[in-house]
Structures are given as C-alpha cells and as structure tokens.
Amino acid sequence: AQSVTQLGSHVSVSEGALVLLRCNYSSSVPPYLFWYVQYPNQGLQLLLKYTSAATLVKGINGFEAEFKKSETSFHLTKPSAHMSDAAEYFCAVSGGTGNQFYFGTGTSLTVIP
C-alpha cells in the first residue's frame, strides 16, 4: 500500500528564510514521488518529481527535494522564501497498480514580509 504523510498543515516563514516542508511516504514498491503546488483558485502544478534517478531533485522556482530511502522521506526545501511562494503544497506517491497517486493532506505555506 502507498501513503503520504505531510507533517505540519501550516508553515510560516519570513521572507528570505529557509523553507522546509516535510513529507514521509510509505510504499510497498519502489516509489515515484512528486511535489505539487496549488496557488489560490488554481489547479495543482508539478514542482518536481523523483523517479529513481538522482536522489536530489531540482524543480521550478528554486525548490528542491531529496529522496532519503532510509528515512522514507522526500522533504521539500528552498533556501530563501519569496512572497510569491505562498501557496498550498502537496506531496504525492505513485506506486502499485495503475497510475493512481496518493496525496498528502497538504501544507499551507505563509511567507511573512
């Protein structure tokens, strides 16, 4: 079975500070992992994905995530937060039968000026 846990439903950071959004997964098969971002009143947009190549994955808007098998984690980071990063972030795991993704409950990021 596959599942994702996102620790912290709300995260606040100051502009220019490090962003760290946590994601832990459970998967009975080698996982493919994804981070999506959702801006207000919009659909979800793919930020980055891990598909068993490099464990450090770089995505759009300066975000990156590191796959750590020993910790079953795929945390999302950005060195310096920008006001435009304020959004909802979802971690997802794909595995098992079909293409179905299993999403976490999301983390709302607030950036304080």
Going 100 to 66 to 84 to 12, the CA torsion angle's sign is positive
**Rounded distance between C-alpha atoms, residue 55 and residue 82, angstroms:** 25
Residue 46, interface with another protein (CB under 8 A)?
A: yes
Q: With contacts defined by CB under 8 A, how many residues of the chain interact with another protein? A: 23
Residue 50, interface with another protein (CB under 8 A)?
A: no
Residue 11, interface with another protein (CB under 8 A)?
A: no
Residue 42, interface with another protein (CB under 8 A)?
A: yes
Residue 44, interface with another protein (CB under 8 A)?
A: yes
Judged by the rule CB under 8 A, the positions of this chain that interact with another protein are 32, 34, 36, 41-46, 49, 51, 90, 94-95, 98-106
